[in-house]
Amino acid sequence: MQDEIRINREHKDRLFRRIFSKKEDLLSLYNALNNSDYTNTEDLQIYTMDDFVYMSMRNDLSFLIDMTLNVFEHQSTYNPNMPLRGFFYMSSAYQKYIALNHLDIYSSKRISLPLSQYYVFYNGTKKMPDESTLLLTDSMPHPDAAEKSSAQFSAHMININAGHSSGIMQRCPKLYQYSLFIEEIRQNQKQGSTLREAVGTAVDSCI
């Protein structure tokens, strides 16, 4: 059962990363989230990191555009720890930004940093609203965590299951097509197909 869950999660994650590995599609997704209209892919600088030295964690997509540092992650199951993971991802992305721009964090002059945005694209089976915000302080049992914690970090979760987040889907056709394809696979599996059979049938149907 665990192997089946892992396989289902991996085929969704890999497909999501592959679709948005092209700069033009990643830019389309960014525009859909921010109601912007960027068209020049040269303005987009990839920051995605394959793994962390000490945690063996990988974020799906990370990039810089217009002084906004973005981390996008696909999630096939609901995970309340996404803010903590995003906190690590964003910290690493900022370290990369500082190194690439030869900034001195020990200087007496304040350095300028890009705005941070962390989005989680969710398509699990647990019922969730179109959009929700998960806070790092929610994981802290201290009664005054929200007011007193120095670590204020949030994960903006977007439900990309078929039938959800219609505005974003309309603005990003590739995301809409992905949601329909995954829903087709899911329905085929419910009818008794193996994952391989479900994917094959979904490919024929969507084409």
pLDDT, tens digit, 9 for 90 and up, residues 4-32: 445 455 778 888 988 998 999 999 999 99
> Which residue, among 114, 95, 122, has the nearest Cα to 179 in the 3D structure?
122
> Which residue, among 31, 33, 82, 36, has the nearest Cα to 60 in the 3D structure?
82
| DSSP helix/strand/coil, 63 | strand
- Average pLDDT (70-97) is 93
Q: Computed over its alpha carbons, how large is the radius of gyration of the chain?
A: 18
Q: Note the pLDDT tens digit of each residue in 102-125.
A: 999 999 999 999 999 999 999 999
pTM across the whole model = 0.88
pLDDT given at position 50? 57
